[in-house]
Amino acid sequence: MSASTDSFPVRRIMALYLMTGLALVVLLMVVGLLMRMSQAGWIRLTSVDFYALMTLHGAGMIAALVLCGMGGLWYLIRREVAMSASLALWAYGLAVGGVVLVAAAAAFGKFGAAWTFLYPLPFLNPTWPAWSIGAFLVGMTLIVLGWSVWCIQMLEAVLRGFGGFRGVLGWDAVFTPKAFAASGRKLPPPQVLPAFVIALDGLLAAAAASLLGVALLVHWLDPSVPLDALWAKNITYFFGHDLANFIIYMLIAQVYVGLPAYARRPWKNTRVLTLGWWGTLVFLLLAFPHHLYMDFAQPVWIQYLGLGASYVSSIPVAVVTVFGGLLLVWRSGMRWGLGSIFMYAGMAGWILGGIGALLDATIQFNLHLHNTLWVPAHFHTYLLGASFLFAIGWVFAMLEGRSENPTSSAMRWTIGVTVLGGIGLLVATFYLAGAASVPRRYDVEPAPGPVFAGWGSVGAIILLIGLAVAFFEGMRIWRGLKQARTHVEWPWSPEPATQTARSGGGAR
Amino acid sequence: MEIQGKILLTFGVLSLLTLALFVVVAWSSRGSPKDYAEVQPAGYGVRKVWFWVLLAAIVVAFGLSGRLSPYSRAEAAPDAVSFPIVARQYVFENIPEVVPYDVPVVFNLTSIDVNHGFAIYDAKDRIIGQVQAMPGYANDLRVTFKEKGKYIVRCLEFCGINHAFMQGSFEVR
């Protein structure tokens, strides 16, 4: 590691990832709003434009939120363990380069095969030019490459910093707890668990994506090379479901560190938390077959594997992490700033989205909900109503933690009600439309879809207004910090737990 | 009430209970703070109960879902009337005009181009069953229609520019 990369301000790397990710999210929210307005009949997008925007919205949102998670988690681990800043910048550059290519394919080539680009849709009777298929696939490949670089760096860092697999997995604490306690050793801080689990599972998902990417690129170059559609679908969802799911598990690391600062209580790693993440390590990889329930040609045991993994994945979330968050807040004398409001509300969003997801993951119910608007309902709940809130909650935690000029109560209420209310209305219309069997991915929806699309648009507009107010409030706090030339390092933040790290990175 | 209504009701009730819990916990934080060590033992006791309740719910739901799944139902109707249907952008070929009432029916789906969906909507415009149509594979959807009338079929797997207009219909009598 060179001195020049070490001297690069660590927080700026996080800011680069987070600000890029959040700016993309807001931009793509506007794209989503345009789609809902078109479905409502308020404006009219052509089918070509609608599906190109839908592809951009889907692929872009996943990439944007992944960027937020990558930056946030990188920063938290970098506080504990030395890591190369230049490698982090490479990962960022590759991922953002991929997003640019995907955006170019959608904006200029009108590539509109959806972010899942299920084989053979991109290639058969396309309304988009051949170059846009290549641009999209190369763009997705770059995103996967950037992701892989991040995963490798993260995995190497946590293994080096916290005693290898045995230390990170808390092996001794789980199997010989008394001897472990007597030795005076401590488990790694909780944010190490998501870093390890996501990096390891992320590499497996990236390997699958690379396999699919190569197969699709070969087919693009020589269409006479056939692929098996069921195989491609399985691989697509193994990667796609996992990557979309990784987001919330990455961003919960920010809550593990951010929320205790407001509650003035520690969120420590324990045997139970470690065991919960052992479960997540496995369940994350096995839940994807619930996307293929309606493919009756799929071996039935795989469907039940997906069902079982989907169900039990709720235990680490509901029993360990979110319950731990609630216990942290219970009678704590919590300091309710915008950061804690967003992070706390995000945990509720995670549970609500999880309930919607588990209902959809029940095979008998999926028969009636699959590919209706119930699907975007539940993933918007935990991407918008949880992951995104974790990310902006963390940004406000960073600002509020160093500010002596807090947000007024009226402003907190204004922002809280508009942002959370907007999200609530937006996702509620998806659930209601899904229960009314309105199909997803229709540019022109059958009744009563347009009515719900109209109310969903109202929700999105309220949300965007709330975010605009939150942005200016954030800028006010930030300007205050600049003018005061405050360099206080988040005084009420838990200190980095370097005692278990073999090589601590002191720079923040 | 159709199954979708029951699912929505279940979701609504569980969501409201969740939100109520979050409001109560947030409200509890407004008073004078308690030491964390004081609240942890009771909290961990509640967590243990919550773990077993959730695990029991999962086991019951898994068992019921297996018993009621469309896969087991498919095996239970060997004497059904069969309708082979081919999906292609943007039509369903060979959809019958008339489907018999109260008789097990099999829709045998395949595709000659991209992935499609085959979702049957009843007179209330609610999905009563669906299956995917995939190139190179055949999927059987088994249904016994208990109500006469017109049914609409919609493609539910995104298949291209005219996806939203890929539909067909049949009469059950």
- Give residue-wise pLDDT tens across range A114-147: 998 999 999 988 899 999 999 999 999 999 999 9
pLDDT at A489 exceeding the cut of 80 = no
Lowest model confidence (mean pLDDT) among A6-20, A209-223, A390-404: A6-20
CA distance B124 to A294: 22
Subunit contact B39:A330, Cβ cutoff 8 A = yes
User: Tokens 């995670």 sit at which residue?
Assistant: A350
CA distance A61 to A22: 10
Q: What is the mean pLDDT of chain A?
A: 92
pLDDT at A3 exceeding the cut of 70 = no
pLDDT band of A497, cuts 50, 70, 90: very low
pLDDT band of A11, cuts 50, 70, 90: confident
- The strand order across the sheet containing B104-111 reads B91-93, B81-88, B104-111, B139-144
pLDDT at B150 exceeding the cut of 70 = yes
pLDDT score for A486: 52
- Give residue-wise pLDDT tens across range B5-52: 999 999 999 999 999 999 999 999 988 899 999 999 999 999 999 999
- Give residue-wise pLDDT tens across range A458-476: 999 999 999 999 999 999 9
CA distance A286 to A455: 36
- Give residue-wise pLDDT tens across range A55-83: 999 999 999 999 999 999 999 999 999 99
Beta bridge partners of A54: none
pLDDT at B77 exceeding the cut of 90 = no
Subunit contact A439:B119, Cβ cutoff 8 A = yes
Instruction: State the nearest Cα–Cα gap between B105 and chain A, in angstroms.
Output: 16
pTM above 0.80, yes or no: yes
pLDDT score for A508: 27
Please name the member of A124, A233, A265 whose beta carbon is closest to the beta carbon of B113.
Answer: A124
Subunit contact A229:B134, Cβ cutoff 8 A = yes
DSSP string for residues in B48-87: HHHHHHHHHHHHHHHHHHHHHSHHHHHHT-TT-EEEEEEE
Nearest CA to B20 among A334, A111, A351, A192?
A351
pLDDT at B162 exceeding the cut of 50 = yes
From first CA to last CA, the distance across chain A in angstroms is 17
DSSP 8-state assignment for residue B165: G
CA distance A65 to A304: 30
Residue predicted with more confidence, A506 or A6:
A6
- What average pLDDT score do residues A233-248 get? 95
User: Tokens 């030395």 sit at which residue?
Assistant: A82
Residues of A in contact with B39 (CB under 8 A): 327, 330-331
pLDDT score for A9: 77
Instruction: State the nearest Cα–Cα gap between A98 and chain B, in angstroms.
Output: 23
pLDDT at A259 exceeding the cut of 90 = yes
pLDDT band of A10, cuts 50, 70, 90: confident
pLDDT score for B151: 98
pLDDT score for A1: 35
Best mutation target among B6, B109, B115 (most A Cβ atoms within 10 Å) is: B115
Chain centroid to CA A301: how far? 29
Subunit contact A445:B154, Cβ cutoff 8 A = no
SS3 percent helix, strand, coil of chain A, rounded to 5, is 75, 0, 25
pLDDT at A324 exceeding the cut of 90 = yes
State the burial class of residue A269 (Cβ atoms within 10 Å of its Cβ: 0-12, 13-18, 19+). buried
Report whether A111 contacts A52 (CB < 8 A).
Answer: yes
CA distance A386 to A347: 6
pLDDT score for B75: 56
A368: closest chain B residue by CA:
B127
Subunit contact B130:A367, Cβ cutoff 8 A = yes
> What SS3 state is found at A154?
helix
Subunit contact B89:A445, Cβ cutoff 8 A = no
Nearest CA to B110 among B92, B85, B89, B73?
B85
Lowest model confidence (mean pLDDT) among A254-258, A438-442, B55-59, B76-80: B76-80
Instruction: State the nearest Cα–Cα gap between A294 and chain B, in angstroms.
Output: 5
pLDDT at A94 exceeding the cut of 60 = yes
pLDDT score for A485: 60
Subunit contact B70:A359, Cβ cutoff 8 A = no
From first CA to last CA, the distance across chain B in angstroms is 23
- Give residue-wise pLDDT tens across range B100-113: 999 999 999 999 99
A256: left (phi over 0), alpha (psi -120 to 50) or beta: alpha
Lowest model confidence (mean pLDDT) among A116-125, A444-453, A461-470, A479-488: A479-488
Percent of chain A with pLDDT over 70: 94
Q: How do B149-154 and B167-172 pair as beta strands? A: antiparallel
Q: What is the ipTM of this complex?
A: 0.95
CA distance A189 to A193: 8
Report whether A334 contacts B26 (CB < 8 A).
Answer: yes
pLDDT at A242 exceeding the cut of 80 = yes
Q: Which two tokens stand for residue B12?
A: 């609504």
Residues of A in contact with B153 (CB under 8 A): none
pLDDT score for A408: 93
Subunit contact B71:A348, Cβ cutoff 8 A = no
Residues of A in contact with B115 (CB under 8 A): 118, 121, 229, 233
Instruction: Write phi, then psi, for A84 (nearest 5 degrees).
Output: -75, 125
pLDDT score for A8: 58
